[in-house]
Structure 1
Amino acid sequence: MNWIYLIYFAFQSTLKMSQQDYLNDISEIKNLMHKSSRFISLSGLSGIMAGIYALIGAALTYYLVDTYSYGTLLLDGWIFRSVMLVLFFVASFSIVTGIILTTRKAKKNGEKIWNQSSRRLIFNFLIPLVAGGLYILIILSQGRYGQTGGLMLIFYGLALVNASKYSLGDIKYLGFIEMTLGLIATAFPGYGFWLWVMGFGFMHIIYGIWMHFKYDTN
């Protein structure tokens, strides 16, 4: 009878090992499918740099408005055009830095910088961003700029949440924070500038540091 128990034990052990191997294979397939459908080479350092650029731009804007416009921003003055130029450079430097650092990380990970996943990421990111940008330009042309900072935060947050389906899912949390700050800014326009600084400046830096140590240092 002992040999029967031995055969039974061997059969059960083999069955358990086969089931475990099967589960491991399923898990590995799911991970591969997850990675293939998402662009995972976003760099945390690019978030840090974007936050630094935003803080520099905010400091320069505050200096211009406070020194030459006595704290009041007029749409038809050179101060307003200067502020728009500062925002343009902040966005440009952030984009260029993001492309450089993300390209470097993608090469390190053996991932193509321009593939189906990255195209989906950019497309879904731009939909809310472009719509929001056009809306902000429309209200600025109508002489209404009190809620501009809040609207920028809201639409940027929507863009992050929308793009998170095709990249690192963690970016949606930054999106939720940006939207929350934007809603507060629209409710209290007098604090819009400082909430903009918090959202685009400090939150980018905090997010970038977190993402860097979570993903970039592995």
Structure 2
Amino acid sequence: MITDTAPPGPVTPDDLATVLRLAVATLRSAPADADWSRPAGSISWDCWSTVEHLADDLLAYAAQLGPAEPPRDRYVPFVSVRRFPGGPNSFVFADRAGGPDALLQVLEASGALMVSIARTASPGVRAYHPWGLADPAGFGAMSLVEALVHLHDVAEGLGLPWQPPADVCHRVLARLFPDVPLDGTAGPWPTLLWATGRTDLPGRPRRTDWRWYAAVPGEAPSV
């Protein structure tokens, strides 16, 4: 059993590769007649748009680390749009005519690029995120949060099981949520869902306001 006294170790690119592989396999298990226009769990987007948003995040995080001198005061300036009121602000979209297979291929491609750059970028690189100037490991951890919790959202919407590796969730909590103590009874995955406002825990009501901490531990938290 994982407890708050067990050292979690650092988040790695292999963690991200594993979770993305599990995520795609889970989504591929959806029935052929699954309705991807259903709401994604407790969030306001539908399942299709939520997967597009995840692919967008993964590619955007990879892009942040791509320039020879990554920007430290803004994102790399891709043009992004909202396709419907209240929808995600994105520059990555899947061809809906291709159906779920096309959507998942877009997700796989974006994820592979993020895993690749997380493996090859210099540990000394720093790039902008509004919640702190982050290194490649930090962007890998942020990619993991996006994948873990948005798969939870979509899996709820499509009625699919989603139970990610507890050790990966533990490492993500330690890297990005230092203010959140691990609940030894609930475990890392329910604690991560609580930390991101998706559920409550015994003695802890659901969060209505939350954030993570992207800056490298011990470095300045802002740009």
Give the structure with the higher percent helix.
1
TM-score normalised according to structure 2 size: 0.28
Q: Which has the larger radius of gyration?
A: 1
